[in-house]
Structure formats: C-alpha cells, structure tokens
Amino acid sequence: MSPIGAETDVLIVGAGPTGLMLANQLGRRGLRTLIIERHDGPAQQSRAMAVHARTLEIYQKLGIADRAVALGRPGYGANMWANGRRRARIPFGEMGKGISRFPYVLMLGQDDNERILGDRLRDWRLDVRWSTELVALEPQPDRVLATIKDPDGTTRTIAAAYVAGCDGSHSAVRHLTGVPFPGAAYEHAFFVADTVATGPMVADELNVFMWGRGFHLYFPMRGADRWRVIGLLPPAFTNRDDLTFEELEPTLRAIGGPGLRFQGCHWFSTYRIHHRCVERFRDGRCFLLGDAAHVHSPMGGQGMNTGLQDAYNLAWKLALVIAGRAEPSLLDSYDAERRPFAEALLKSTDRAFGYVVSESRIAGFLRTRVAPRVLATVMRFDAVRRRAFRTISQTGIAYPDSPLSRTLDGVGRKAPRAGDRFPWLQLALTAGGPCVDLFEQLDDTRFTLLTIGQPSPSVESLGLGTRLQIESVPVDARNTGTLAKAGIRGPAWYLIRPDGHVAIAGARFDAAALQAWLAATTIRLEDDAPLRPRTRAPPGAAAPSAPATPRGRGRPRSAPARARRRLRWRRAARRRGRRSASGRPRGCARRW
Ligand SMILES: Cc1cc2nc3c(=O)[nH]c(=O)nc-3n(C[C@H](O)[C@H](O)[C@H](O)COP(=O)(O)OP(=O)(O)OC[C@H]3O[C@@H](n4cnc5c(N)ncnc54)[C@H](O)[C@@H]3O)c2cc1C
C-alpha cells in the first residue's frame, strides 16, 4: 500500500444520484471533492422513474432543470385497471399549480438523471473516478483516512476531512463505521422490466393493473411504446435467480388483457425490497446519505428523490464548516432534520405497501373495486389534490423541530414557519416593479434575509457580509394578494437558508434575534469573521484532487488584507448580480 498521498475536503463514496448531487453541490461551492465509484462507468439501468417537483426545483438552482424537463415526460394522470376494465382515472394534470414551478411528476429514468448530473460535474472541474472502491476507513480526530482500491488493483490511503457514504443499500461506509441499519426485508419479491409494448395502456400516463393478489405498474418512458413495468412476482417465481421476462410475460398478459403485446424487453431484473433506516446519519466525520441511510418500498417513487435531498441538505452545512464559517456541531442538524423525515417516509410507504400487497379477500376487493372510485372522487377536491401533491412532491417537507428552526412570536398561524420550505411566490421586489419568481432570486449558496412590508436593514448595519442576500417585499396590491394566499397578512421577516428552508420566521424585524440565531448555530456570515482553521493537511499530503478550491481560507489575515478581500467579495457579488439579471443561473459562482 502506498503512503498517504492526497488530501481532500470531502471523499464521496458512490456515484449514484445521491453522490453526484452532493459532488455538484460541493463542487460549485469550490470544495476539494473526490468522488469514487466501484463500477467502471455510469449505470445503464433506468431504476427510479419519478422525478418530483422539489427535486426539479433543486435542479433549477443547479442549472439542469431545463435539460431534465426536455428529456422527461410529465405524468398527467393515473389509470386504474381491474379485471380488464378501466375503473377510474385520477387526473394529476398540473396538480401542484401555484405550489411549484414544476406542478407535475416528471417521468425520467434514473440513468438520465445520473447522466445530467454527471455532465454538470465537469463545470466544477470534477469527474468521477470509476473502478475505484472504498475498502477501509480509519477515523482520526481531525480527518478520516480512507483506503481505496484503484482500477489497477493497488490500494492507497487518502486523507479526507469528511467522508460521505452515498454508496447505496450495501454501503461500505455504513459497514466500516458500524452504524446499525435496523429493519427487515419484505417477504415479497418484485420484478422490473423496461419493455416495448402496446395494449390498453393510456399513453403518457401511469397505468395501474390491479387484481385480487397484487398489482402491475406501467410507467411511460421516453421513446415510442416504451413502458417500465414493475410488479409483484408470482409465488412460483419468487426463488428463481434465472427467471426471464419471456417466462413472466403470460402472467402480465393475463392481467393486462389479450390486447397487451410485448415487442421487446431491454432490461429485466428481480429484486427484494427492504425497509430499513440507519440509527444515525452522522458518525463523527462520516455521513450516510440516500440508500446508504434508508431503503423502503418504491410506493410513491420517493427513493431517488429523498437521496438527492439528503445531499442538498448536507452540502451547504459541510461547505460552511469546511470554510471555517461554522463549528462542526452544525453538521448534527443533518441527522436531526433528515432522519425523522426518512423514518416517517418508511412508515408511510410501509402502510401503503402493506395495503397493495395484502392477499386478503377484503383487501383485494377494496383495491380493485373501492379504492379506484374513492381516489378518483376525492382527488377532484382542490384541497386533497394540493395536500397529496405536497406530500408526494416533497415540497411539503419541513424541519420544525430542527435545532436550526426558530419561529418567533407574532407569526401568523397560516404563515410559513421555521423549518418550512419557503413557498414559491411571484412577488414585486421593488415598488411598482415587475413580479418576479422569488425562487429565481434566491441564491442557494447564500442565506437570504427577506423582509415583508417593512424596511430592510443594510448588510453594513447588521455587520454581516456578502454571504447574506437581502431582499425586500414592498407593500403593493399585487404582493398583498399573493402573500395573503401564503398566509402572510402583515409585516414579516424570514431568514432563508441556502437550501430554501426557513431558519427564522418573525413579524417585525429583530436584529438581536438574527444575531442570537447566528451565535447559537455558530454560523459566521461576516466577510472578515475570524475563521476556524481548515482541517490540517496530513503529513506528506500531495496536491488536492480537485483544483477549484479557494486557498488559505483559514489563514489569519492582516486588517488591510481583510479589507482587500471584503472589496473583492463585494465586486464579485455585484458581478454575480449582473450575470443573474442577464439570465445566467444564479448560484454558479464559487462561494464560501
Ligand atoms: C430494480 C430497482 C428499481 C427501482 N425503482 C425505483 C423507482 O421506481 N422509484 C424510486 O424512487 N426508486 C427506485 N429504486 C430505488 C432507487 O434506485 C434508489 O433509491 C437510488 O438508486 C438511490 O440512489 P443512491 O445514489 O443513494 O444509491 P445507488 O444508486 O445505489 O448508488 C450507490 C453507488 O455506490 C457505489 N458503491 C457501493 N459501494 C462502493 C464502494 N465501496 N466504493 C465505491 N463505490 C461504491 C455503487 O456501485 C453505486 O453506484 C429502484 C431500485 C432498484 C434496485
């Protein structure tokens, strides 16, 4: 084994969707990031098919939403079939209209998502190191020594300030850190097939074929007559490793009806599903994200989307800590926020799954006869549709109990509260000016102070720096109507985190509350804040793996040097503002 030969801020293990998202988020913030993957190239299987609104909002910030939307297909409805008849159609349409700029579920395979995320990585001068596997970890007080096996079979040790285990359900990081992964396997086995098929399926929509003992889901895929079919394996096939699609085809046709014809199958796999969640998302300097931290049934297509959001939640916190702008204790909030969500998701997908696989006669009757009609009826109600959209699209995720969430007195009952994703609104940010998409204005590499119906403080008066963006919403007839719909009926202020969630919700702006929050969370937003030293370079450290990192952030600086640096930040911020105005996606500049 060669001696320790490289240093990196974050070693990301696994280049599935979760690892690629984390690498993008860290890369764009200028962190030295190394992403390794034991496979020799990008995955070819589509696996997850549903991309939800919250994921698309994050993609928008990353500048890849347009490409994803162009490649995918919005799912406009679900058709419920039983005993050869279409029993109901549940219109999804623009189910989330007014909630998100992306008010639908986008059908886009995991392979396409990974390709888009992988292409974007190159903009931060990062690339996946393929055929490279993590084999050992040795936590130390100020770093983690990771032993990796290179493509030629030799091993070497890398020193990383932090390690992110994005390495899937059999996670090496989880095993090596010994984090328990309680749960169990479902007794049922599943199949997944990417097919070319014609039949009764309604084009471009989800088709669900149900019978007394199970279900088959048909997801529309890109390309003529392409369908992803997922379902329960008949008991006779459950223990067959060598099962082929041709053997299963008669079962599918028996349920789908004689009009169903398969012209081809591009990918076929069988699998068992587990429902498990790790006991902790953080173990010292190691983190678990995505399937490495939680696996559950595919009900609702939440798996991939949840991993992407784990990465988005962790990235800004890691960036602050590595830049010396917050204490490592900030990173505990990753577990505090994401684990309760994952546990709740596990429970809800468990319940839904139990219902769809139940073999009891009553459950079969309810599934085939009652549920389609009930669903079709209740989904006509706007309130039900909106609630369902918020849940499935993950725009409704909130962290009210997070140590980072503070709701102050005077906040309206229906107004956004700390922990909520701040709502997507069209607001005029200058008196008489045009209404703009607030999400486009928010810079997700900075915090935003949003004041509503009251004057904004200046960055200087707060003694804070360019890492705080300040936006003011004046009283204006158009704003009043929009804000009232969001439950904001008077003066209000919000500190919005880089990931779009509310950190502080208040009525009259309170500078002391803001300063108290910063002190409690240990976050330092001043340009010339005394920074915590970066993780020390290990003895014998070679060049970092990615060249994008601004150097020497932790060095003590003289006063003139600090002043020069402040000036550079301000100029850079002005330049960024101009670029955003001309249409370049915000958040592409290297920060922190
Ligand atoms: C057949 C199938 C169908 C699915 N269908 C759906 C669906 O319809 N909807 C949905 O939401 N989800 C679905 N899922 C789940 C979804 O695919 C996962 O939730 C998603 O892939 C999680 O992404 P991830 O990046 O966390 O993990 P993964 O995609 O598993 O990526 C982990 C990566 O880490 C790499 N790795 C592992 N160990 C090491 C190591 N020691 N060193 C280096 N690299 C390592 C692996 O090779 C892998 O590429 C499906 C899964 C399967 C298997």
Strand ranges (E), 141-246: 143-149, 155-165, 183-198, 206-211, 214-220, 226-232
How many angstroms separate the CA atoms of 134 and 37, rounded?
A: 8
Domain count for the chain, please give it. Answer: 3
Counting from 1 in the atom list of ligand 1, the atom nearest the Cα of 295 is 19
Q: Which of 156, 167, 286, 393 to mutate to test the pocket of ligand 1 (most atoms within 8 A of CB)?
A: 167
Q: Buried (b) or exposed (e) across 409-422, using 16+ Cβ within 10 A? A: eebbeebbbbbbbb
Q: Closest Cα to atom 39, ligand 1: which residue?
A: 167
- Name which residue sits closest to atom 38 of ligand 1, judged by CA: 167
- Is residue 579 domain-resident? no
User: For residue 326, how far is its CA from the centre of ligand 1 (angstroms)?
Assistant: 31
The answer on 142 and 66 residing in a single domain is: yes
Using the CB atoms, write b or e for 110-132: b if 16+ within 10 Å.
bbbbbbbbbebbeebebebbebb
Give the span between the Cα atoms of 91 and 75, in whole angstroms: 9
Q: How remote is the CA of residue 40 from the centroid of ligand 1, in Å?
A: 15
Tell me which residue has its CA closest to atom 8 in ligand 1: 48
Residues 197 and 283 in one domain: no
Do residues 496 and 350 share a domain? no
180 CA distance to ligand 1 centroid (A)? 19
Last residue of a domain, one of 467, 493, 521: 521
| 24 part of a folded domain | yes
DSSP alpha helices (H): ranges in 37-106? 53-62, 65-71
Determine the distance separating the centroid of ligand 1 and the alpha carbon of 254, expressed in angstroms: 31
Q: How many angstroms separate the CA atoms of 49 and 75, rounded?
A: 11
Handedness of CA 290, 291, 292, 293 (dihedral sign): positive
Q: Which residues of 448-475 are buried (b: 16+ CB within 10 A; e: fewer)?
A: bbbbbbbebbebeebebbbbbbebbbbe
DSSP readout, 352-389? HHHHHH--SHHHHHIIIIIHHHHHHHHTTSHHHHHHHH
Atom of ligand 1 nearest to the CA of 228: 8
Q: Residue 554 falls within a domain, yes or no?
A: no
Which atom in ligand 1 lies closest to the alpha carbon of residue 43?
49
**Model pLDDT, residue 534:** 57
Single out the residue in 297, 327, 357 at which a domain terminates: 357
Which phi and psi (to 5°) does residue 384 adopt? -70, -45
Instruction: Check whether residue 371 and residue 348 sit in a common domain.
Output: no
Span from the CA of 166 to the centroid of ligand 1 (angstroms):
9
Q: Which residue segment(s) compose the domain that 198 sits in?
A: 76-101+185-273+359-397
210 shares a domain with 67: no
Task: Please indicate, yes or no, whether residues 113 and 17 belong to a single structural domain of this protein.
Answer: yes
Cβ pair 145, 138 in contact under 8 A: yes
Q: How far does the centroid of ligand 1 lie from the alpha carbon of residue 51, in Å?
A: 15
CATH value at residue 16: 3.50.50.60
- For ligand 1, residues with CB inside 6 Å are 13-19, 36-39, 47-50, 110, 133-134, 166-168, 172, 192, 269, 271, 290-291, 298, 301-304, 307
C-alpha 260 – ligand 1 centre gap (Å): 31
Instruction: Indicate yes or no: pTM above 0.85.
Output: yes
Assess whether 343 and 465 both reside in one domain.
no
Distance, in Å, from the CA atom of 89 to the CA atom of 79, rounded to the nearest integer, reads: 4
- 90 CA → ligand 1 middle, Å: 30
Task: Tell how far CA 45 is from the center of its chain.
Answer: 20
pLDDT for residue 264: 95
Q: Which tokens in the block code for residue 167?
A: 């390495």
Last-in-domain residue among 521, 556, 577: 521
Q: What is the pLDDT of residues 280-312, one digit of tens each?
A: 999 999 999 999 999 988 776 789 999 999 999
Q: pLDDT per residue over 523-549, tens digit each?
A: 999 887 767 665 443 443 333 333 333
Ligand 1 mutation target, pool 51, 275, 304, most atoms within 8 A of CB: 304
Residues 36 and 128 sit within 8 Å (Cβ to Cβ): yes
**Probe ligand 1: pick from 11, 110, 112, max atoms within 8 Å of CB?**
110
Q: Which atom of ligand 1 is nearest to the CA of 302?
A: 11
Q: 486 C-alpha to center of ligand 1: Å?
A: 37
Which ligand 1 atom is at minimum distance from the Cα of 19?
25
Residues 226, 194 contacting (CB under 8 angstroms): yes
Q: Give the C-alpha separation, 239 to 237, whole Å.
A: 6
Same domain, 215 and 348: no
Residue 367 lies in a domain: yes
Q: Give the Cα separation of 164 and 183 in Å (integer).
A: 22
- CATH code of residue 231: 3.30.9.10
- The C-alpha atoms of residue 407 and residue 459 are separated, in whole angstroms, by 22
Residue 539 lies in a domain: no
Which residue's CA is minimally distant from atom 3 of ligand 1? 47
Max Cα–Cα distance, the chain, nearest Å:
80
427 and 310 together in one domain: no
Among candidate residues 489, 495, 455, the one with its CA nearest the CA of residue 473? 455
Residue 555: inside a domain: no
- For residue 563, being part of any structural domain is answered with no
Looking at the structure, tell me whether residues 301 and 232 fall in a common domain.
Answer: no
Q: Quick one: pLDDT at residue 351?
A: 79
- Cα 43 to averaged position of ligand 1 atoms, centre (Å): 9
Take residue 519 and report the two structure tokens written for it. Answer: 């002190």
585 in a domain, yes or no? no
Q: What is the model's pLDDT at position 533?
A: 62
Is 294 found in the same domain as 437? no
The pLDDT value given to residue 311:
98
The verdict on 47 and 132 lying in the same domain is yes
Nearest alpha carbon, ligand 1 atom 7: 48
Q: How many CA atoms lie within 13 A of 388 on its CB side?
A: 19
Domain CATH for 449: 3.40.30.120
How much is the pLDDT for 590? Answer: 35
For the chain (length 592 residues), average pLDDT per consecutive 10? 67 98 97 97 85 97 97 89 86 87 93 96 96 97 96 96 97 98 89 95 91 85 91 87 93 91 94 93 98 87 93 98 96 98 89 71 73 79 88 94 97 96 96 93 96 93 92 93 95 98 98 97 86 50 33 36 48 41 31 43
